Amino acid sequence: MEEKMSLTVYDAVDYKGFPADKSKTGGWVPAALILGIEICERLSTMGIAVNLVTYLGGILHIPSAASANIVTDFMGTSFLLCLLGGFLADSFLGRYKTIAIFASIQTLGTATLALSTKLPQLRPPACHSIDMSNCKQANGSQMGILYLALYLVALGTGGLKSSVSGFGTDQFDEKDEKEKAQMAYFFNRFFFFVSMGTFMAVTVLVYIQDQVDRSLGYGVCSVSMLVAILIFLSGTRRYRYKKSVGSPIVSILQVVVAAIKKKKMELPYDMSLYEDSPEALRIHHTDQFWFLDKAAIVTERDFDHGSVPNPWKLCSVTRVEEVKMMVRLLPIWATTIIFWTVYAQMITFSVQQAMTMNRFVGNFKIPAGSLTVFFVAAILITLAVYDRFVMPLWKKWKGKPGFTNLQRIAIGLILSVIGMGVASLVEMKRLSVAKHKGSTTATLPISVFWLIPQFFLIGAGEAFIYTGQLDFFITQSPKGMKTMSTGLFLTTLSLGFFLSSFLVSVVKKFTGNHGNGWLADNINLGRLDLFYGLVAMLSLINFVLNLVCAKWFKAHKTAKPAALEELKINEKC
C-alpha cells in the first residue's frame, strides 16, 4: 500500500479525476507541451506592441501622441486582465481550461488583426506626406475593428499570463527530489523560450510586417498559436491537474468586512483574539494596522452554525496578519509603477524617433520596431554578467548571494532615470539635425544607433527591477497569497502603461493640443526632449520615495524569505 501511494502525487489528479500516477502523468514532456503556448503568446503580444505605433502613424495616419496612447492602453489592459485570468483559474476554471479558452481568444484576436490590416476598406487612403494634417485619418468603423482585434489579443494575453507557468510547475512533484530538479530545468528553459519568443517578435516578425506584408506577420501569429493549442491539447491525458482553491481576494475582503462591522468595538486589553490555525502555520500578532485586528474580536453573533464562525464576521489572527503583510507591500508596489511608464516610452516615442533616422546598415534597412532587440540584448547581457561576475564577487565581499530584492528594484529605478536623461540628450541632438535639414525631411542624416544607449540602460534596468519585483512580491507575501501577490506585481506593469497614457494626455493639454507643443503630430516640430526630461525628473523623485519606503519596509519586515524554488514555482509571467 505504501509503495502504491508513493507512485501518486498527493495534491494532483489526472484527467479523469483520479490521483495522478507519476509513471503516466506529469514530468518534463507534458511541461514542454505547455511551453509552445507561452512562446506564441510572447510572439504575438510583443510583435504587435513594438511595431503597432508604425502602423498607426504610417498607415492609419494617427498623430504620434494618440498612437502612443493606443499602444500603452493596449499593453496596460493586457497586464490588468491577468487579474481576471488568475481569478477565474483559481476560483472556477482551473489552469488547464483557462489556458485553452484564452489561447483560443488570442488566436481569434490575431486573426482579426490580420484581416483588418489586409482589407483596403479597413484603412484610409495611402498618404506619403510627412505632415499628418494633410492625410485622411482612419474613421470610426476602421478604428473599431482595430480595437476589437487588439482587445481580443489583450484578453487572451491576460488569461494566459496568469496560468501558463503555474500549470507548467503543476507537472512536477515538489516532494520528489528528482522531479524537483526537473522543475528547475523546466524554468531555465521556460525563461529561455520566453526570451526567444520576444527576440523572434522584434526581429523576424517585425521585419515581415514592415518589409513583406503586415497582415502576413499577424497571420503567422494566429497560425502559430493555433498549432500551439493543438499541441497543448494533445497532452490532456498526460497532464497533472490541481484543484482550484479559491481566490485570496475573497479572504482579504472577509477580513476587511469583518473589521468594518466591528469598527466601534474596542480591542481587548489582553489581546485575546480569535485563532484557529494550526500552531505550525500561525503568524504572530503585530501592532501595525491595528484596525484590522478588530476582525478577530470574538462575539456571540459570529457563530452561525454551532462552533463554526462566519468568515465574514470573524477571522483568525493569522488571516488578519496575512492581510497586513499584503498591505505592507503597497508602498513598494506604488513606487515601482513609474518604471513601466519609462518602459512605455521605449516602445512608442523611441520607435517614432527611429522612423525619422537613418536606419541603413549597408543596403539593409533596419525596421524601426526592431530597435527593441537591444532591450532583449541588454536584459540577457545584464543577467549573464550579474550571474557570472556580480553575484560571486558580492558573496565574497558581503557574504550574501547577490543584491537583495529591494536593492535590485532600486538599481532598476536609477538606471531608468539615467536612461531617460540620456534619451532627452539624444533627442536634443536629433532635433538639432531636424532643424538644420528641415522638419519635413523624411530621413534625417543621423544614425539610428544614437538610440542604443537609452535602450540598453532601460533594458538593463528591466533586468534588475523585473527580477527584484518578482522576488519581493513572492517572498514577502503570505504562503496562501502567492498568486495574489504575483497579480499585484503584474498590475505595476499595467498601471505604468496607463500612467504613460495619462501623462501624454496632460502634456498635450498644457503644451499644445492642436498638432503642436511638446508632443507635436510631427515629432520634428515638437519637444520630445523636454517630455523625456519631465519623465526623468518624475522618475528621480519616485526613486527617492522608493528608498524611503524600502527603509520603512525593512523596519517592519515580518515575512520569512522563501526558497528560490518557491519563487520560481509561483512566477506567473
CB 15 within 8 A of CB 237: yes
SS (H, E, C) 331-377: HHHHCCHHHHHHHHHHCCHHHHHHHCEECEECCEECCHHHHHHHHHH
What does each C-alpha distance from 88 to 102, 150, 166, 291, 496 come to in angstroms?
Answer: 11, 21, 14, 31, 24
In this predicted structure, what is the pLDDT of residue 440? 76
Question: Does 285 reside within a domain?
Answer: yes
Q: Residue 105: pLDDT above 80?
A: yes
My answer on whether 59 and 177 are in the same domain is yes
Question: Does 3 reside within a domain?
Answer: no
My answer on whether 515 and 379 are in the same domain is yes
- For the entire predicted model, the pTM comes to 0.80
My answer on whether 53 and 173 are in the same domain is yes
My answer on whether 304 and 332 are in the same domain is no
My answer on whether 209 and 289 are in the same domain is no
Q: How many domains does the chain have?
A: 3
Q: Residue 479: pLDDT above 70?
A: no
My answer on whether 283 and 226 are in the same domain is no
CB 223 within 8 A of CB 113: no
In this predicted structure, what is the pLDDT of residue 558? 42
SS (H, E, C) 268-301: CCCCCCCCCCCHHHCCCCCCCCHHHHHHHCCCHH
My answer on whether 202 and 162 are in the same domain is yes
Give the mean pLDDT of the chain: 84
CATH number at residue 108: 1.20.1250.20
Question: Does 1 reside within a domain?
Answer: no
Question: Does 7 reside within a domain?
Answer: no
In this predicted structure, what is the pLDDT of residue 515? 61
Question: Does 369 reside within a domain?
Answer: yes
Residue 8, C-beta contacts closer than 8 angstroms, at least 6 positions apart: 19, 20, 21, 22
For the segment 190-194, the average pLDDT, to the nearest whole number, is 70
Q: Which of 265, 295, 315 is the last residue of a domain?
A: 315
In this predicted structure, what is the pLDDT of residue 16? 86
Q: What type of residue is 556?
A: H
Q: Residue 275: pLDDT above 90?
A: no
Residue among 531, 358, 526 at smallest CA distance from 431: 526
Q: Residue 570: pLDDT above 60?
A: no
In this predicted structure, what is the pLDDT of residue 331? 93
In this predicted structure, what is the pLDDT of residue 483? 64
Q: Which of 264, 289, 315 is the last residue of a domain?
A: 315
15 or 234, higher pLDDT: 234
Q: Distance between CA atoms of 343 and 79, rounded to whole angstroms?
A: 14
Q: Which of 291, 315, 339 is the last residue of a domain?
A: 315
For the segment 341-357, the average pLDDT, to the nearest whole number, is 90
CB atoms under 10 Å from CB of 496, counted, come to: 22
My answer on whether 236 and 307 are in the same domain is no
Residue among 492, 476, 468, 487 at smallest CA distance from 572: 487
Q: What type of residue is 66?
A: A
Q: Residue 5: pLDDT above 70?
A: no
Question: Does 6 reside within a domain?
Answer: no
pLDDT band at residue 35 under the 50/70/90 scheme: confident
Question: Does 220 reside within a domain?
Answer: yes
Model confidence pLDDT, tens digit, residues 490-543: 889 999 999 999 999 999 889 876 667 898 888 888 899 999 999 999 999 999
Residue among 448, 384, 461 at smallest CA distance from 419: 461
Q: How many residues does the chain have?
A: 573
For the segment 141-152, the average pLDDT, to the nearest whole number, is 93
* Residue numbers of the domain that contains 443: 327-573
My answer on whether 156 and 293 are in the same domain is no
Question: Does 277 reside within a domain?
Answer: yes
For the segment 302-325, the average pLDDT, to the nearest whole number, is 84
My answer on whether 274 and 240 are in the same domain is no
Q: Residue 284: pLDDT above 60?
A: yes
In this predicted structure, what is the pLDDT of residue 277? 78
CB 437 within 8 A of CB 429: no
My answer on whether 239 and 252 are in the same domain is no
In this predicted structure, what is the pLDDT of residue 248? 79
My answer on whether 217 and 288 are in the same domain is no
In this predicted structure, what is the pLDDT of residue 559? 40
In this predicted structure, what is the pLDDT of residue 245? 64
Q: Distance between CA atoms of 128 and 259, rounded to whole angstroms?
A: 63
